[in-house]
Chain A
Amino acid sequence: MTETKELLRAAIGATQPAIPDVRSVLQRRRARRRRERVVAAVVALALTAGLAIGLGTLLHGDGGARPSDGVRVVGPTRVVLIPSVSMEPTLHVGDSVLVDEGAYRASAGLPGRGDLIAFITPARGDTPYGALGQTFVKRVVGLPGDTVEERSGAMYVDGKPFLMPPATEPDHRAMGPWTVQPGHVFVVGDNLGNSNDSRYALGQLPITNIVGKVVEILSPNDRRATIEPPPAGSVAGPGPSGPSGR
């Protein structure tokens, strides 16, 4: 008996383990395997579901975002993140807005004047929007057949002032007039002095590029607000406050 073996004996001790029933040992293994299979299945399922929801959010936008009570949507919906200052003061950089993709189904895709819409930028080889196909949010000013112009920092439709929130960066140029083409709408950013829109390289927007109507600011939480529809009877846009009450 070597010194080392003596030490090992001291580590093991004198206990003689009880011999269990062989069937219970095999049973235990089967139960453990079942448990592992269940765990693996649950994990796989959770991963798949997570992936599906994630992909669904990316592709279809409905990541479980629900409109607030009282906000009526036709659906489906998607959430769009505001990347620029072009919609100040109505929308801030970093706002998430809820877009109702079904809003214009009944009107054959034609939005209302004054609506905030989300759309995919048309691919135009000669513009920075090019093939990027980004999702933008702008305000609809002109419908097909309208004459749109800009005079001293305000938009005019068929010669009448178009009501919209005062731009944080006003624009005092005179531009246009433009005649809105069939199948197109004329969109501008509320921040007239700092927005690339139908007045500039973006051009008139084919209504087929429209994703849907922006109905609500979802986040950040302290900015949660519905987007007010244009005032009844108004020829043009909504009142000066875009989101209600805030």
Chain B
Amino acid sequence: MVETTTDAPTATDFQEFFATQYRSVVRALVLVAGSMAAAEDLAQEAFARTFERWDRVSGLTSPAGYVYRVAMNVQRSRLRRAAVAVRHAAGRSTARDEPDPGVRQEVRDMLASLPPTQREALMLVEWLGYSAEEAGAILGVRPSSVRGRLHRARASLRDRFGGDGD
């Protein structure tokens, strides 16, 4: 499909989108996927699925928001499918990453212990800077729900790591 001439302009368009967004999407998805390796896998699946709808998605205000929405849907269905395995792996990092001196594993473990919905809220609002309204639109929930999840997530982080939060 990429190689055919009719959708070549679309493909170029998508290529640029992919090239500029890939890194930040992967890094953000670490927060919901739990590891860099899992985040890369998730991001690639999400980008590929986005490409399948690209003629529609490219017209959206935030194509990246669409990628995140797809990524989180994929993540949820994978979690459902692997519910037992995930339960067994709870509290542990599921995939081995390259050693990264910038990573505090105890923070990853802490995030892994949060409900997925709270991790999603943290990623979208706290890390990516979406408003509660935008995050609600991406997640398909009310902004007030996003705020609630965010509030609980921050409180849990504060309890665990101290600091006055915000």
Contacts and interface: CB of A to CB of B under 8 A. Distances in A.
Contacts of A11: 30-31, 103-104, 107-108, 111
A72 interface: no
A246 interface: no
A14 B102 contact: yes
Interface string A4-43: 1101111111111101101101101110100000000000
A10 B123 CA distance: 13
B22 A17 contact: yes
Contacts of A16: 23, 27
A16 B161 CA distance: 25
Interface string B101-119: 1111001100100000000
B107 A29 contact: no
A26 B36 contact: no
A8 B36 contact: no
Contact of A2 (B98, B103, B104, B126): B126
B127 A8 contact: yes
B19 interface: yes
A5 to B, nearest CB: 6
Given A7-B161, A10-B102, A29-B48, A17 B27 contact: yes
Instruction: Give the secondary structure class of B's interface.
Output: helix
Interface residues of B, number: 44
B163 A3 contact: yes
Contact of B15 (A7, A10, A22): A22
Given A8-B122, A17-B27, A29 B45 contact: yes
A30 B44 CA distance: 12
Given A7-B157, A13-B30, A22 B166 contact: no
Interface residues of A, number: 25
A238 B122 CA distance: 84
A138 to B, nearest CB: 51
A25 B31 contact: no
Contact of B36 (A5, A10, A17): A17
Instruction: Give the secondary structure class of A's interface.
Output: helix
A25 B127 contact: no
Contacts of A12: 27-28, 30-31, 102-103, 127
B157 A4 contact: yes
B76 interface: no
Nearest to B25: A17
Contacts of B154: 4
Interface in B1-19: 1-2, 14-15, 18-19
Given A2-B126, A2-B165, A28-B44, A10 B103 contact: yes
B26 interface: yes
A13 B49 CA distance: 27
17 contacts: A3-B165, A4-B122, A5-B127, A7-B157, A8-B31, A8-B127, A10-B102, A11-B104, A11-B111, A12-B28, A13-B102, A14-B103, A15-B36, A17-B26, A17-B40, A19-B23, A29-B51
Interface of B: 1-2, 14-15, 18-19, 22-23, 26-28, 30-31, 36, 39-40, 44-45, 47-49, 51, 97-98, 100-104, 107-108, 111, 122-123, 126-127, 154, 157-158, 161, 163-166
Interface of A: 2-5, 7-17, 19-20, 22-23, 25-26, 28-30, 32
